[in-house]
Structure 1
């Protein structure tokens, strides 16, 4: 378990992390989300004792990371997959870490097999692709068989098979009762992987809840309706307080009214429906809505470009 109380970090006049208080519990994958510059990396570095908090405390299973007798056996972390000596092979890199942590040599072979690098274990890591470097970083995090695991952008550079692999790995680690904390900008992947979310913006905590609750609270239910009488149905829905947009081919997008009410309304007025479907908002849509005022750098839509729909 990771617990933070009033965690704060200042760099001169800049407040990077502002009084964060949270608990990351074992047995689930906790996703860590926020726009660029929100303070995610700084927070993770403070958890690992790489940066000293300006105020507040953060502990892992009740004690600071720097107070652990054998940190590799208690916490595994991937913050920068490129932090590897390019002249060493994958095996040499892991064996050096194992010796530092008092970890048996057989464990090196175990994690190399687990991450799929057995075939290139003796090759110098400077020739590794980005995805292979990520796998080696994950192997390093798993080396001590720790109870707490932290990953910063773990799927960066991985192909679809690798992404599915790390997703299943994180879920299996959490199912074993471990604490799994993962930061990522890939919303679709977080939606498929995380059970719980911490969301920060401009250094402040703005959400701490299960994924499904975050989506529900920060997006509006929409209903797609196809009918031969779109104009008539749109008038009926609007009169009942619903909001309607159309894509021009007879398909209506209704907000502010559920499928049951729309179906009853169409039946009562003898409007034939060809499709009536509730559209589930994505984590990406909910995240964009929640963090709209917390984005540090906002780009304008280029002239002539079509802005994407926010909700469908």
Structure 2
């Protein structure tokens, strides 16, 4: 098990991680999420003893990484797939790591087979694609058959077959009782892989809960309703609001309705003599819940291009107007969302 208590890391006046406490338990895949610059990589480096905390502590199995006997046989990690000498073959790279950790040479060929690199084992790694480099990094992490594994963006550069393979590998490792800690920006993949989530923003803990609880706490299920004409849509909106629903317009002209069941919405439309083109339930995705949770913890935001609309459109196309001022401000607060115990109002001066 990995345990962090009051973990803080400062670089001069900049605080990368602030008072971070969490546990990563064995037997489950724990996803580690957060925007760019939130402190994920710094946290992983502190877990592995590559950076020392300014205050607080982090332990693996009750011990700091540098005090673990033969740590490579207890902890495996993939932080940077490019951290390989390009002149070495895949096999020689793994063999040198095995010799340093006292791991039998036969294990090198075993992990090369596990990651699918046995046919290129004697080729120099400088010719490897990004996906091949990821596979080699995963092989290095598995080399000592460790009980604790950390992966930073393990599917980066992999094709769909490789992504599926990594997903199944993570699940299998966790099913064997290992501690698996995975950092990723791919929400769709985390939704399929992770059992538990630790989410940080600007170096501070935002959430520590199961995937199911995280989605429930940061989203609300709703119904999508579409009527054929604007007049009928306005009439339907008024009828639904009168019945106690909360209604928000969608960009494509549909309505987002909360507070009423689908049969009730259908009855209201029927009573108002409104024909429906769509009436469908919608359950929030992990991506939607994550975006709602972290929207105030993002350091880098795009703005509208001021040149948008300056150039004349091609012949036959209508002119485009300016981007509305609230472009990009998605995720309005929805009725029915549960308050998240980790979300608090913070002074932006607290973490720099």
**TM-score normalized by structure 1?**
0.93
- Deviation string 1:1-35 (CA, Å, 9 cap, x unpaired) is 10111011111111111011100011111000111
Whose strand proportion is higher, 1 or 2? 1
- Deviation string 1:60-108 (CA, Å, 9 cap, x unpaired) is 1111111011111110000011000000000000111111111111111
1:37 matched residue in structure 2:
37
5+ residue gaps, structure 1, are none
| Cα distance change, pair 105–249 in 1 and its aligned pair in 2 (3 A) | closer
- Deviation string 1:113-132 (CA, Å, 9 cap, x unpaired) is 11010110000000000000
2:257 matched residue in structure 1:
254
1:283 matched residue in structure 2:
286
Kindly report the root-mean-square deviation, in angstroms, between the aligned alpha carbons of the 2 structures. Answer: 2.2
Helix, strand or coil for the counterpart of 2:53?
coil
**After the TM superposition, which residues 96-135 of structure 1 pair with which residues of structure 2 at under 5 Å, given as runs?**
96-135=96-135
| Cα distance change, pair 296–246 in 1 and its aligned pair in 2 (3 A) | closer
The answer to whether the Cα contact below 8 Å between 1:221 and 1:256 also exists between their aligned partners in 2 is no
5+ residue gaps, structure 2, are 309-321, 335-352
- Looking at structure 2, the residues matched to 248 and 52 of structure 1 have their Cα atoms a distance apart, in angstroms, of 48
2:338 matched residue in structure 1:
none
2:48 matched residue in structure 1:
48
2:268 matched residue in structure 1:
265
1:220 matched residue in structure 2:
220
**After the TM superposition, which residues 1-312 of structure 1 pair with which residues of structure 2 at under 5 Å, given as runs?**
1-227=1-227, 230-246=233-249, 251-266=254-269, 273=276, 275-302=278-305, 303=308, 307=327, 310=331
**TM-score normalized by structure 2?**
0.83
- Looking at structure 1, the residues matched to 210 and 252 of structure 2 have their Cα atoms a distance apart, in angstroms, of 37
Offset at 1:268? 5.8
Offset at 1:254? 1.6
- Deviation string 1:251-301 (CA, Å, 9 cap, x unpaired) is 433234343542453466565655432111121211111111111121113
- Looking at structure 2, the residues matched to 48 and 248 of structure 1 have their Cα atoms a distance apart, in angstroms, of 46
Q: How many residues align?
A: 312
